[in-house]
Amino acid sequence: MRLRSSTFGRGLPAVVVASALLATACGDGTTSSGAGSGGSTTTVRLGYFPNLTHATALVGVESGIFKSALGENRLDLKTFNAGPAAVEALFSGALDATYIGPNPAINAYAQSGGDAIRIISGATSGGASLVVRPTIKAPADLRGKKLATPQRGGTQDVALRQWLKTNNLKADLEGGGEVSITPQDNAQTLETFRAGQIDGAWVPEPWATRLVHEGGGKVLVDERSLWPGRKFVTTHLVVRTKFLKEHPDAVRRLVEGQVQANDFVNSNSAEAQRLVNQAITAVTGRGIAAAVLQESWKNLEFTNDPIAPSLTASAAHARDVGLLGRVDLKGIYDLSALNQALAAANQPEVQG
Residues 350 and 338: their CA atoms lie apart, in Å, by 8
Q: Select the more confidently predicted residue: 159 or 16.
A: 159
Average pLDDT of the chain to the nearest whole number? 88
| Residues 6 or more apart whose Cβ sits within 8 Å of residue 223 | 126, 128, 129, 130, 159, 202, 232
Residue 222 has pLDDT above 90, yes or no: yes
Mean pLDDT of 285-291: 91
Query: pTM value?
Result: 0.84
| Residues 6 or more apart whose Cβ sits within 8 Å of residue 41 | 33, 34, 35, 72, 73, 74
3-127+231-344 is classed CATH 3.90.440.10: no
Mean pLDDT of 90-105: 94
Least reliable range by pLDDT among 83-87, 193-197, 289-293: 83-87
pLDDT at 327: 87
Q: Are 93 and 107 in contact (CB under 8 A)?
A: no
Q: Please identify, in words, the CATH class of the domain defined by 128-230.
A: alpha beta
Residues 281 and 243: their CA atoms lie apart, in Å, by 31
Q: Select the more confidently predicted residue: 155 or 57.
A: 57
Residue 58: name the closest of 133, 129, 5 by CA. 5
Residue 100 has pLDDT above 60, yes or no: yes
Confidence of residue 151 (pLDDT cuts 50, 70, 90): confident
Intra-chain end-to-end CA distance of the chain, in Å: 29
Name the segment(s) of the chain with CATH classification 3.40.190.10.
Answer: 3-127+231-344, 128-230
Mean pLDDT of 184-202: 96
